[in-house]
Amino acid sequence: MRDTELYRHLLGLVTPWEVERVDLSVEDGRVDVWVKHPKRTRFACPDCERELSVYDHSEERAWRHLDSCAFLTFLHANPPRVSCPEHGVRQVRVPWAEPHSRFTLLFERLAIDVLSACDVNAAAGLLRLSWDEAWHLVDRAVARGLAAKALTAPTHVGVDEKAAGRGQDYITIVSDLDAGTVEFIADERRQASLDGYYAQFTTEQLADIEAVAMDMWEPFAASTRAHLDDADSKIVFDRYHLMGYLTGAVDTVRKQENRALSATGDKSLAGSKYLWLYSYENLPAKHTDRFTVLRSGDLKTARAWAIKESLRHFWSYKRRGWAAKHFKHWYFWATHSRLKPIIDAAKTLKRHEAGLLSYFAHPITNECASYCTSL
Ligand SMILES: [Zn+2]
């Protein structure tokens, strides 16, 4: 296969477009591919689809495409223009990109997937984009996706916040949990950030939302209460966020205890941080022996960890009543642990108990959050 033909396949080019030339620069780690159409190809007016002959060509443009073998890849073309009797001289649509985008559709698709799985800084790093490019690319792609489909509210909504880095601390990401699609992105994680999402819908459309998974973050709950009827039965606090919260409390206990032990020359907990962060079945085998000794001793950290692990069983119940009973026992244990970080965390969960228990009416979780927690 000639390399131009190979690149036509790699780029997913459709007729009439074909590869004219490929430049590979090993020093710069990039591939530049020029594409063209055969002479006398006719193109559709972007406004009325009328087929017309080429009037002239716009200046050469470049689109960032998916990397080829780790080489940054750019597609170049001179977009043709047609002269429509009705709409005048117009640049035709190219099949690989949206108008005004500097990225191909395939690259944008990848970027959205990467961003739903990590924060903007990490996504920008992986995609080799600047932070601004990553952010604007996703922002535009979400807006376009919404414009393209009829507006309906998802049945199960996921609300998540992500560390954004630079300038702003967080962004709010709303997804359709059933379709697994990002539906809305807003700056920061204020009540107004989520209000913008709900505000697009009519009252009738909002009534289609059965449940919303979220972190125990008051502005998100407040926004949801302001827009949905009977919101408290629909808010489901996300189990991954809740477990992350408890894991944080265990880590605080470990830090305090390690400091106290180290002062007396006891190194039992030194270098054990990550052992306590795993859930038990995910603990790598090479750590099993040390961890078995640690957790069976009378360390405060071991007690905190056992309380955290017990909370996980809450979500394995089939019936709300049994889960409620488990939570009651768990809460008693946690609040009598004499471990302040655990007591504080348990009290926070107790204040949000309704949103924990609504999981049994709507067993949903933020998939995105589950992915991030497993990292
Ligand atoms: Zn036209």
Three-state SS string across 278-313, please?
A: CCHHHCCHHHHHHHHHHHHCCCHHHHHHHHHHHHHH
What's phi and psi for 205, nearest 5 deg?
-65, -40
Distance 8 CA to ligand 1 centre (A): 29
CA 259 to CA 266: how far, in whole Å?
A: 10
pLDDT at 374: 33
CA angle, 169 then 170 then 171, to 5°: 145
Distance 62 CA to ligand 1 centre (A): 25
The DSSP-derived string for 173-204 is EEEETTTTEEEEEEESSSHHHHHHHHTTS-HH
Q: How far is CA 184 from CA 171, 174, 180, 199, in A?
A: 10, 5, 12, 12
* Residue of 286, 301, 294 whose CA lies nearest to 256: 301
Q: DSSP state, 217?
A: -
Q: How far is CA 285 from CA 102, 131, 162, 273, 289, in A?
A: 47, 38, 32, 16, 8
151: Cβ–Cβ under 8 A, 6 or more apart, which residues?
200, 201, 205
Distance 90 CA to ligand 1 centre (A): 8
Distance 96 CA to ligand 1 centre (A): 21
Distance 207 CA to ligand 1 centre (A): 41
Contact 348, 342 (CB under 8 A): no
Confidence of residue 353 (pLDDT cuts 50, 70, 90): very high
Min mean pLDDT across 20-24, 136-140, 211-215, 271-275 is at 136-140
Q: Is the pLDDT of residue 371 over 80?
A: no
Distance 17 CA to ligand 1 centre (A): 22
pLDDT at 10: 72
Confidence of residue 373 (pLDDT cuts 50, 70, 90): very low
pLDDT at 132: 79
Q: Is the pLDDT of residue 166 over 70?
A: no
Distance 37 CA to ligand 1 centre (A): 21
Q: Is the pLDDT of residue 137 over 80?
A: no
Distance 103 CA to ligand 1 centre (A): 26
Sign of CA dihedral 146, 150, 151, 152: negative
Distance 144 CA to ligand 1 centre (A): 22
Distance 358 CA to ligand 1 centre (A): 54
- The model carries a pTM of 0.67
Q: List CB-based neighbours of ion ligand 1 within 5 Å.
A: 45, 47-48, 84, 86-87
Bridge partners, residue 181, by sequence? 176
Residues constituting the chain: 375
Confidence of residue 172 (pLDDT cuts 50, 70, 90): confident
CA 311 to CA 334: how far, in whole Å?
A: 10
**Looking at residues 139-153, what average pLDDT do you find?**
71
* pLDDT one-digit tens code per residue, 113-131: 777 666 677 778 888 888 7
Distance 80 CA to ligand 1 centre (A): 14
Q: DSSP state, 95?
A: T
Q: DSSP state, 159?
A: E
